[in-house]
Structure 1
Amino acid sequence: MHRLFTMSFATIYPLYVQKVERKGHTREELNEVLEWLTGFDEAALERHIAAGTTVQELFEDAQLNPNASLITGVICGIRVEEIEDPLMQKIRYMDKLVDELARGKKMTSILRAA
Protein backbone atom coordinates (compact mmCIF):
# COMPACT_ATOMS: atom_id res chain seq x y z
CA MET A 1 0.00 0.00 0.00
CA HIS A 2 1.29 3.43 -0.89
CA ARG A 3 2.18 5.67 2.07
CA LEU A 4 0.00 8.44 0.62
CA PHE A 5 -3.12 6.27 1.02
CA THR A 6 -2.74 6.14 4.80
CA MET A 7 -1.90 9.82 5.29
CA SER A 8 -4.46 11.84 7.16
CA PHE A 9 -6.45 14.27 5.01
CA ALA A 10 -5.97 16.70 7.93
CA THR A 11 -2.22 16.63 7.16
CA ILE A 12 -2.66 17.33 3.44
CA TYR A 13 -5.44 19.94 3.60
CA PRO A 14 -3.38 22.71 5.29
CA LEU A 15 -0.69 22.22 2.64
CA TYR A 16 -3.30 22.76 -0.07
CA VAL A 17 -4.54 25.88 1.76
CA GLN A 18 -0.98 27.25 1.96
CA LYS A 19 -0.37 26.54 -1.71
CA VAL A 20 -3.48 28.34 -2.97
CA GLU A 21 -3.20 31.25 -0.51
CA ARG A 22 0.43 31.79 -1.49
CA LYS A 23 -0.84 32.31 -5.05
CA GLY A 24 -3.58 34.74 -4.03
CA HIS A 25 -6.50 32.33 -3.82
CA THR A 26 -8.76 31.49 -0.89
CA ARG A 27 -9.68 28.53 1.29
CA GLU A 28 -13.25 28.98 -0.03
CA GLU A 29 -12.05 28.49 -3.61
CA LEU A 30 -10.08 25.42 -2.51
CA ASN A 31 -13.16 24.01 -0.79
CA GLU A 32 -15.24 24.63 -3.90
CA VAL A 33 -12.78 22.58 -5.94
CA LEU A 34 -12.60 19.77 -3.35
CA GLU A 35 -16.39 19.73 -3.00
CA TRP A 36 -16.78 19.46 -6.77
CA LEU A 37 -14.42 16.47 -6.90
CA THR A 38 -15.61 14.56 -3.82
CA GLY A 39 -19.28 15.49 -3.54
CA PHE A 40 -18.75 16.60 0.08
CA ASP A 41 -20.05 19.90 1.35
CA GLU A 42 -17.88 22.09 3.57
CA ALA A 43 -19.27 20.53 6.76
CA ALA A 44 -18.39 17.04 5.52
CA LEU A 45 -14.87 18.16 4.62
CA GLU A 46 -14.48 19.62 8.11
CA ARG A 47 -15.75 16.36 9.67
CA HIS A 48 -13.16 14.36 7.72
CA ILE A 49 -10.42 16.75 8.81
CA ALA A 50 -11.51 16.62 12.48
CA ALA A 51 -11.84 12.83 12.42
CA GLY A 52 -8.33 12.30 11.05
CA THR A 53 -9.73 10.42 8.05
CA THR A 54 -7.05 8.89 5.83
CA VAL A 55 -6.93 9.83 2.16
CA GLN A 56 -8.08 6.30 1.33
CA GLU A 57 -11.09 6.59 3.67
CA LEU A 58 -11.89 10.04 2.27
CA PHE A 59 -12.19 8.68 -1.26
CA GLU A 60 -14.03 5.54 -0.11
CA ASP A 61 -16.69 7.90 1.32
CA ALA A 62 -16.65 10.31 -1.63
CA GLN A 63 -19.07 10.45 -4.54
CA LEU A 64 -16.56 11.29 -7.26
CA ASN A 65 -17.82 13.86 -9.76
CA PRO A 66 -18.86 12.12 -13.01
CA ASN A 67 -16.71 14.63 -14.93
CA ALA A 68 -13.56 13.79 -12.95
CA SER A 69 -12.39 11.67 -15.88
CA LEU A 70 -12.07 14.93 -17.86
CA ILE A 71 -9.13 15.89 -15.63
CA THR A 72 -6.01 15.38 -17.70
CA GLY A 73 -2.43 16.51 -17.64
CA VAL A 74 0.76 15.86 -15.72
CA ILE A 75 1.17 15.90 -11.96
CA CYS A 76 4.32 14.64 -10.24
CA GLY A 77 5.68 13.77 -13.70
CA ILE A 78 2.86 11.34 -14.49
CA ARG A 79 -0.17 11.79 -16.75
CA VAL A 80 -3.21 11.54 -14.46
CA GLU A 81 -5.33 9.89 -17.13
CA GLU A 82 -2.79 7.01 -17.39
CA ILE A 83 -2.59 6.15 -13.67
CA GLU A 84 -3.77 2.57 -13.27
CA ASP A 85 -4.44 2.44 -9.52
CA PRO A 86 -7.95 3.93 -9.04
CA LEU A 87 -7.20 5.42 -5.62
CA MET A 88 -3.91 6.95 -6.72
CA GLN A 89 -5.68 8.42 -9.75
CA LYS A 90 -8.30 10.07 -7.52
CA ILE A 91 -5.56 11.51 -5.30
CA ARG A 92 -3.74 12.87 -8.32
CA TYR A 93 -7.01 14.32 -9.65
CA MET A 94 -7.24 16.23 -6.36
CA ASP A 95 -3.60 17.36 -6.66
CA LYS A 96 -4.17 18.48 -10.25
CA LEU A 97 -7.26 20.54 -9.38
CA VAL A 98 -5.43 22.25 -6.50
CA ASP A 99 -2.50 22.93 -8.82
CA GLU A 100 -4.79 24.44 -11.46
CA LEU A 101 -6.41 26.68 -8.83
CA ALA A 102 -3.01 27.83 -7.56
CA ARG A 103 -1.91 28.63 -11.12
CA GLY A 104 -4.93 30.87 -11.61
CA LYS A 105 -6.92 28.79 -14.05
CA LYS A 106 -10.55 29.92 -14.35
CA MET A 107 -12.93 28.12 -12.00
CA THR A 108 -15.22 27.09 -14.87
CA SER A 109 -12.23 25.39 -16.47
CA ILE A 110 -11.09 23.73 -13.23
CA LEU A 111 -14.60 22.39 -12.58
CA ARG A 112 -14.77 21.05 -16.12
CA ALA A 113 -17.90 23.08 -16.94
CA ALA A 114 -19.25 22.73 -20.47
Structure 2
Amino acid sequence: MQIERVFKMSFASVYPHYITKAEKKGRTKAEVDTIIGWLTGYNQDQLEQIITAKVDFQTFFGQAPQIHPNASKITGVICGHRIEEIENELMRQIRYLDKLIDELAKGKAMEKILRT
Protein backbone atom coordinates (compact mmCIF):
# COMPACT_ATOMS: atom_id res chain seq x y z
CA MET A 1 0.00 0.00 0.00
CA GLN A 2 1.29 3.47 -0.94
CA ILE A 3 0.51 5.03 2.46
CA GLU A 4 2.64 2.48 4.31
CA ARG A 5 5.55 3.26 1.99
CA VAL A 6 5.36 6.93 2.95
CA PHE A 7 5.35 6.03 6.65
CA LYS A 8 8.60 4.08 6.22
CA MET A 9 10.37 6.85 4.31
CA SER A 10 13.28 8.38 6.17
CA PHE A 11 12.55 11.87 7.45
CA ALA A 12 16.21 12.70 6.73
CA SER A 13 15.68 11.89 3.04
CA VAL A 14 12.80 14.39 2.73
CA TYR A 15 14.17 17.13 4.99
CA PRO A 16 16.65 18.51 2.39
CA HIS A 17 13.76 18.85 -0.07
CA TYR A 18 11.86 20.97 2.46
CA ILE A 19 14.89 23.23 2.78
CA THR A 20 15.47 23.43 -0.98
CA LYS A 21 11.83 24.31 -1.59
CA ALA A 22 11.98 27.10 0.98
CA GLU A 23 15.36 28.46 -0.12
CA LYS A 24 14.30 28.62 -3.78
CA LYS A 25 11.68 31.12 -2.66
CA GLY A 26 14.02 33.17 -0.49
CA ARG A 27 13.19 31.54 2.82
CA THR A 28 15.68 29.91 5.20
CA LYS A 29 16.59 26.59 6.78
CA ALA A 30 16.02 28.25 10.17
CA GLU A 31 12.42 28.98 9.19
CA VAL A 32 11.92 25.36 8.09
CA ASP A 33 13.33 24.18 11.43
CA THR A 34 11.06 26.62 13.29
CA ILE A 35 8.03 25.20 11.51
CA ILE A 36 9.07 21.61 12.27
CA GLY A 37 9.67 22.52 15.92
CA TRP A 38 6.32 24.28 16.18
CA LEU A 39 4.43 21.33 14.73
CA THR A 40 6.25 18.52 16.55
CA GLY A 41 7.78 20.01 19.68
CA TYR A 42 11.30 18.94 18.68
CA ASN A 43 14.05 21.39 19.62
CA GLN A 44 17.06 21.94 17.34
CA ASP A 45 19.27 19.31 19.03
CA GLN A 46 16.50 16.71 18.90
CA LEU A 47 15.84 17.51 15.24
CA GLU A 48 19.50 17.04 14.38
CA GLN A 49 19.53 13.69 16.22
CA ILE A 50 16.43 12.57 14.29
CA ILE A 51 18.09 13.48 11.01
CA THR A 52 21.34 11.74 11.94
CA ALA A 53 19.47 8.61 13.06
CA LYS A 54 17.51 8.56 9.76
CA VAL A 55 14.27 7.63 11.47
CA ASP A 56 11.17 7.06 9.36
CA PHE A 57 8.12 9.33 9.38
CA GLN A 58 6.22 6.91 11.59
CA THR A 59 8.92 7.16 14.27
CA PHE A 60 9.44 10.88 13.67
CA PHE A 61 5.82 11.71 14.47
CA GLY A 62 5.33 8.84 16.92
CA GLN A 63 8.16 10.10 19.14
CA ALA A 64 7.42 13.80 18.68
CA PRO A 65 7.43 15.55 22.05
CA GLN A 66 4.06 17.18 21.35
CA ILE A 67 2.04 17.85 18.23
CA HIS A 68 1.02 21.49 18.51
CA PRO A 69 -2.57 21.94 19.75
CA ASN A 70 -3.25 24.38 16.87
CA ALA A 71 -2.22 21.84 14.24
CA SER A 72 -5.89 21.12 13.58
CA LYS A 73 -6.17 24.69 12.29
CA ILE A 74 -4.05 23.67 9.31
CA THR A 75 -6.56 23.18 6.53
CA GLY A 76 -6.64 23.17 2.77
CA VAL A 77 -5.59 20.92 -0.05
CA ILE A 78 -2.20 19.26 -0.36
CA CYS A 79 -1.32 16.66 -2.97
CA GLY A 80 -4.95 16.64 -4.10
CA HIS A 81 -6.34 15.79 -0.66
CA ARG A 82 -8.19 18.01 1.76
CA ILE A 83 -6.13 17.81 4.96
CA GLU A 84 -9.05 17.97 7.35
CA GLU A 85 -10.62 14.93 5.66
CA ILE A 86 -7.59 12.64 5.96
CA GLU A 87 -8.63 9.91 8.37
CA ASN A 88 -5.24 8.36 9.11
CA GLU A 89 -3.66 10.47 11.87
CA LEU A 90 -0.06 9.86 10.78
CA MET A 91 -0.80 10.75 7.16
CA ARG A 92 -2.62 13.89 8.33
CA GLN A 93 0.43 14.91 10.39
CA ILE A 94 2.73 14.36 7.40
CA ARG A 95 0.41 16.50 5.25
CA TYR A 96 0.33 19.18 7.96
CA LEU A 97 4.08 19.48 7.60
CA ASP A 98 3.86 19.50 3.79
CA LYS A 99 1.25 22.26 3.92
CA LEU A 100 3.29 24.39 6.31
CA ILE A 101 6.37 24.13 4.08
CA ASP A 102 4.23 25.03 1.05
CA GLU A 103 2.92 28.09 2.87
CA LEU A 104 6.49 29.12 3.72
CA ALA A 105 7.58 28.72 0.10
CA LYS A 106 4.59 30.78 -1.05
CA GLY A 107 5.77 33.70 1.07
CA LYS A 108 3.21 33.55 3.85
CA ALA A 109 4.24 35.34 7.05
CA MET A 110 5.58 33.10 9.83
CA GLU A 111 2.92 34.38 12.25
CA LYS A 112 0.21 33.08 9.93
CA ILE A 113 2.02 29.83 9.17
CA LEU A 114 2.35 29.12 12.89
CA ARG A 115 -1.33 29.91 13.44
CA THR A 116 -0.63 32.61 16.06
Partner of 1:104 in structure 2?
A: 107
How well do the aligned residues superpose, as a CA RMSD in angstroms? Answer: 0.7
2:57 corresponds to 1:65: no
TM-score, normalising length from structure 1?
A: 0.97
The answer for unaligned runs of 5 or more in structure 2 is none
The answer for unaligned runs of 5 or more in structure 1 is none
| Further displaced range: 1-10 or 54-63 | 1-10
Aligned length, in residue pairs: 113
**Alpha-carbon distance in structure 1 between the residues aligned to 2:14 and 2:74:** 20
**Alpha-carbon distance in structure 1 between the residues aligned to 2:77 and 2:43:** 27
Report the alpha carbon displacement of residue 2 of structure 1 after superposing the two structures with TM.
1.8
Partner of 1:89 in structure 2?
A: 92
**Alpha-carbon distance in structure 2 between the residues aligned to 1:96 and 1:2:** 20
Partner of 2:81 in structure 1?
A: 78
Letter in 2 for 1:57: T
Residue pairs, 1:1-114, within 5 angstroms: 2-62=4-64, 63-113=66-116
Runs of 4+ in 1 over 6 A off after TM superposition: none
